[in-house]
């Protein structure tokens, strides 16, 4: 029997207004119902926002070190439950245990990081221009934050939104993706146990199409943070700013890895393969395009094909290298792009098929897939697939490589594989992305530095993580005192 979980509103676990629920299934074994959650309504949104608005002033008035102590205790509680959270993440989202474990640790680290930041995040003292005067600034919370988080990093991304929002004195209503809501519920449970005052965090589950709009456009919501697709994120941003709210949306990517002749090709294959097929390609920062110099093109293609064919696909709890896609719709989307690529003339070099026999019969499995001889105008080179599919594009020189890399409506993450310091520096300056890596995979982020994209990958308003996360959730007041 699966467990049914409630919303968390005003410090209480409560059913939705109309009592309707939805099921969450294991993507590795779709006949297994993992849990049931509330299908929330607009009335539930109103209740959650009201609870947050009522609780926020007292939470903001609490000294930063006291708020930080609650965040620190939350991180400790998450650490105590780490193994259980890893299993839950794998069972709901499909990541392998090897991928789920560092993600859970990332969430723990984020709460500890912002616990310390809460101690001394405030304004600055400036010299006044006259005698007998003081001049200083103060950081103040925005108010009520609406957080809409995705399924592909179901504990790390909620953590890097929740922790800075709370550290700076905001109250929160958070809506996780319906495919994997249990990790956010676990964070909320830990916050409650750590002593967070009632109403400061509120947790709603349900369809984004039904409650997402009412949440981000609610009159009493002051700031909105969203991570998800470009299509949905654009709508969220428009709804949010129409009423003058502050908003940030991090969205899709078509991330390139450029392989140049000076690179160690074996190393390049490992780096690109990890970026393309890790987390089943279900990352906004996943390596989707390998742009390879013609001098090493054939060697690279042979290597990446071998790499893809050596990956074991299966249940993440059973030691597989790559797990299933999260849902039937995501799998269908990947298979459609595989067909489109073949129709357009790309050469299928590895994979390309759904796995649906034997141990794969009940899951959303697809082979790691490599297309070679891809042209930059093909849809497989332009549109986000969000699955384990890599398009390999040949180029003749460095300038063409950068031009092809920038030939995209997205601009999130990029990497260059080279042993030339000059090429690395030129690439980092010329590439049109928010994140650039040299001799590293396009995925993987440090928690203490800004993260975000350009073009259609982001609203490019505010960055997330590190001090940038704190800045997004606060406003600055300047105070003049004549004594």
Cα–Cα dist 85/165, whole Å: 23
In the numeric block, which tokens belong to residue 217? Answer: 């456009």
CB 368 within 8 A of CB 277: yes
Residue whose tokens read 């067909």: 339
Q: Is 460 left (phi over 0), alpha (psi -120 to 50) or beta?
A: left
Residue 124 DSSP SS3: coil
Whether 190 is a known active-site residue: answer no
Q: CA-CA distances (angstroms) from residue 146 to 170, 201, 225, 284?
A: 10, 10, 6, 21
Phi and psi angles of residue 332, each rounded to the nearest 5 degrees, phi first: -60, -40
**Cα(25)–Cα(223) distance, rounded to whole angstroms?**
32
| Count of helices and strands (H, E) across the chain | 15, 24
| Residue pair 194/166 in contact by the 8 Å Cβ criterion | no
Q: What residues are paired with 8 via a beta bridge?
A: 13, 203
Which phi and psi angles does 25 have, rounded to 5°? -115, 155
* Closest by Cα among 6, 123, 156, 237 to 475: 123
Q: Which of 145, 232, 284, 431 is catalytic?
A: 284
Among all residues, which ones are annotated catalytic?
284
């Amino acid at each position: 029997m699966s467990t049914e979980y409630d919303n968390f509103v005003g410090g209480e676990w409560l059913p939705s207004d109309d009592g309707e629920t939805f099921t969450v299934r294991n993507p590795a074994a779709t006949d297994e119902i993992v849990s049931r959650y509330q299908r929330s309504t607009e009335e539930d949104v109103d209740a959650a926002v009201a609870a947050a608005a009522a609780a926020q002033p007292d939470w903001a008035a609490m000294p930063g070190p006291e708020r930080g102590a609650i965040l620190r205790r939350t991180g400790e509680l998450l650490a105590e439950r780490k193994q259980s959270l890893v299993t839950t993440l794998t069972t709901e989202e499909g990541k392998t245990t090897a991928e789920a474990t560092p993600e859970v640790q990332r969430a723990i680290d984020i709460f500890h990081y912002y616990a310390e930041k809460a101690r001394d995040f405030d304004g600055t003292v400036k010299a006044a221009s006259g005698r007998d005067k003081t001049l200083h600034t103060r950081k103040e919370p925005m108010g009520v934050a609406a957080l809409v988080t995705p399924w592909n990093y179901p504990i790390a991304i909620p953590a890097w939104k929740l922790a800075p929002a709370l550290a700076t004195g905001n109250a929160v209503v958070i809506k996780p993706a319906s495919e994997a809501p249990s990790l956010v519920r676990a964070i909320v449970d830990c916050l409650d146990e750590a002593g967070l005052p009632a109403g400061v965090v509120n947790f709603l589950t349900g369809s984004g199409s039904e409650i997402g709009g009412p949440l981000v456009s609610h009159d009493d919501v002051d700031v909105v943070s969203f991570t998800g697709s470009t299509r949905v994120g654009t709508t969220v941003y428009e709804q949010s700013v129409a009423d003058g709210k502050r908003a940030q949306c991090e969205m899709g990517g078509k991330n390139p890895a450029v392989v140049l002749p000076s690179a160690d090709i074996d190393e390049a294959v490992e780096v690109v393969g990890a970026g393309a097929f890790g987390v089943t390609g279900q990352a906004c920062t996943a390596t989707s395009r390998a742009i390879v110099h013609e001098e090493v093109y054939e060697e690279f293609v042979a290597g990446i094909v071998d790499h893809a064919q050596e990956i074991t696909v299966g249940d993440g709890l059973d030691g597989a290298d790559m797990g299933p896609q999260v849902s039937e719709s995501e799998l269908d989307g990947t298979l459609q792009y595989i067909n489109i690529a073949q129709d357009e003339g790309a050469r299928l070099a590895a994979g390309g098929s759904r796995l649906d026999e034997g141990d794969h019969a009940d899951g959303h499995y697809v082979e790691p897939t490599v297309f070679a001889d891809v042209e930059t105008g093909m849809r497989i080179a332009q549109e986000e697939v969000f699955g384990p599919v890599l398009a390999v594009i040949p180029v003749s020189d460095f300038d063409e490589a950068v031009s092809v890399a920038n030939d995209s409506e997205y601009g999130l993450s990029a990497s260059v594989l080279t042993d030339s310091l000059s090429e690395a520096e030129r690439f980092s300056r010329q590439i049109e992305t928010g994140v650039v890596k040299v001799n590293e995979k396009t995925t993987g982020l440090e928690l203490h530095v800004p993260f975000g994209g350009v073009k259609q990958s982001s609203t490019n308003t505010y960055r997330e993580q590190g001090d940038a996360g704190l800045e997004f959730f606060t406003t600055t007041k300047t105070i003049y005192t004549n004594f």
